[in-house]
Every structure is written in structure tokens, then in C-alpha cells.
Structure 1
Amino acid sequence: MKKTSPEPREEDKIPPPVPAEPGYSSTDGEATDDPVASLQGDLDRFRDLALRTQADFENYKKRAARERDEGIKYANRSLLERLVPIVDNFELGLFAAREEGERSPIYSGMSM
């Protein structure tokens, strides 16, 4: 039987977060004595980041929908371009069979 050690492996250990230096605001890079102002600056920065991320996601959804619609449109276009010559050939064959008479086996087969 193999024993497993209760100690976490070296790569599983997560380093603790580094505390910010007191009196230092990370938003403007200047030393401040007011921790509330520092926290307010961080809050403003994170709100701005959240709004930008939300706007980026909305733009992504619109772009993905537009690309999906264009893909369907152009896929149908390709299909129709391949079908037009087939329909033309059937019409020509039906016209040629009609000239032989409507009782001809070619006409009855083409008109099905």
C-alpha cells in the first residue's frame, strides 16, 4: 500500500497575496495618508475595468451573431449557385421532351 503525504506538493502551494504598502495608492502612484482615498481609487479602477469588460463582451456577442448570420447567408448562396444549373438542365430536358409529345416516357419521367 502506498502512503500519501498530507503535505501539499511544491507546485500545489499558492503564495499568499502580497499586502499593499500602507499609505501608497496603486492608482496614481503617489503616496497618500488616507487609506479611504486609496481604496476609493481602487474601487473606481475596478468599476471601470468591469464596465469595459462588459462592453467588450456585448461587442463580442454582436460580432459573433453577425458572423453566424453571414456564414449562413453565404452557405445558402453557394448551395443555390450549384442548384441553378441543375434546374436549368431539367427545364431544358422537359422542354425537349415536350416537343416529342406529352405521352413520351421522357416527358412523363421528367415531369415527376
Structure 2
Amino acid sequence: MSDQENITPEVENEEQLAQEQVDAQATTEEAADDLVAQLQNEVAQLKEEVLRAQAETQNVRRRAEADVEKAHKFSTEKFARELLNVVDNLDRAMAMSPDDEVVKPFLEGIEMTHKSFTDTLAKFSVEAINPEGHPFDPELHQAISMVDAPDAEPNTVLNVVQKGYTNHGRLLRPAMVVVSKAAPKVDEQA
């Protein structure tokens, strides 16, 4: 008898079972590989979502810190704007002529009060804008009139009627100014 004929049905069943086990194991490995790939994709997506959430949280924190900083920086803005009238009145009082001996001590007191007041405003970053002789800047100045000034460049601030003020670089009140205008063109045909 040949080797083929010696194989009994039991051996055939065992071989068939072994082949089925190998096939099942291969199928299980493929399914496991698919599951691993799927889980790796899901982990990558979750990592990306976590990174985005962390970045968003960090952006919200930065924005909140910036808002708090601005609130601290500009919290005195309305108060400072109201005090500017006091500074203006002190400036007007100092413009009086000290011809009378009775007035001189009052003027000295007003000057000291003015200096103390402006120093206090400077501590809180309230700074005066006094642009006399500088070019007109519509973001910082408000022109109340324009006059002919042949000896000045056009659009130059000739006179400051009322000082302007900034707080931490933000405009509180524009300076009211008189600006030079360009000389009228002479008609050559006349």
C-alpha cells in the first residue's frame, strides 16, 4: 500500500482541523491587525483633539489675561478724563500776569498745585499732548481753525488752544489746535 492509502479518515480529519485552525488563526490575525489599525487611527484623532483643546484653553487664558491687563491699565480712564478740566483751570490761572504783589503768592501756590497734579497724572500714564510747532495729526489733534502763516509750513500746529491727553498711549482728549494753511496759489494768467 502507498502512503496515500495508509491515511485514515482520522488523520484526514486532523489535517483538516489543523488547516481550519491555521485559517481561523490567519483570519483572527487579520481581524486583530484591522482592529489595531483602527484603534491607532482613533488614538491619533483623540491626540489631535486633545492638542486642539489644550491650544484653545491656552488661547482663552491669554485673552483673559490680556482683558484683565487692559482693565487694570484703563480703569482710571473716565476718572482721568474728568480731572482734565481741573488741569485746564490750573493752566488758565497760571496764565494770569503776576503784576500785583498780592497775586504772586497765589500764583506760586497754583503752580505748585499744578505741578503736583500733573506729576500724579504722569504716575498713572496720563500724558499731555502739546504739539505746537509740529505737523498736524488728525488722530491726536482737533483743528478748530486754519490761518494763513507765510513763515510756517502748511498743516503745522501754530497754537494750542487746549492741550490733549493720552492714557497709556490711548487718546483721552484730542488737542484743540490752530493750524497753518497752504498759501493761496497766485494766478499767473492775471
Q: What is the correspondence of 1:19-30 to structure 2 with a 5 Å cutoff?
A: none
Q: Does 1:37 align with 2:27?
A: yes
Q: What is the correspondence of 1:1-112 to structure 2 with a 5 Å cutoff?
A: 33=21, 34=23, 35-101=25-91, 104-106=114-116, 108-109=118-119, 110=121, 111=127
The count of residues paired between Structure 1 and Structure 2 equals 82
> Does the 8 Å CA contact 1:101/1:107 hold for their aligned counterparts?
no
* RCO higher in structure (CA 8 A, sep ≥6): 2
Structure with bigger helix share is 1
Distance 1:91 1:70 in 2: 31
- Paired AA for residue 91 in structure 1: R
5+ residue gaps, structure 1, are 1-22, 24-31
> Does the 8 Å CA contact 1:97/1:107 hold for their aligned counterparts?
yes
SS at match of 1:101: helix
RMSD of aligned residue pairs (Cα, Å): 2.4
Q: TM-score of the superposition, structure 2-length normalised?
A: 0.37
Q: CA deviation at 1:108?
A: 4.2
Q: CA deviation at 1:92?
A: 2.6
Higher Rg of the two aligned structures: 2
Distance 2:31 2:118 in 1: 83
Runs of 4+ in 1 over 3 A off after TM superposition: none
- Paired AA for residue 45 in structure 1: L
Q: TM-score of the superposition, structure 1-length normalised?
A: 0.60
5+ residue gaps, structure 2, are 1-16, 95-113, 122-126, 129-190
Aligned-pair identity in percent equals 7
Structure with bigger strand share is 2
Alignment correspondent of 2:169:
none
- Paired AA for residue 65 in structure 2: A
Distance 1:37 1:77 in 2: 59
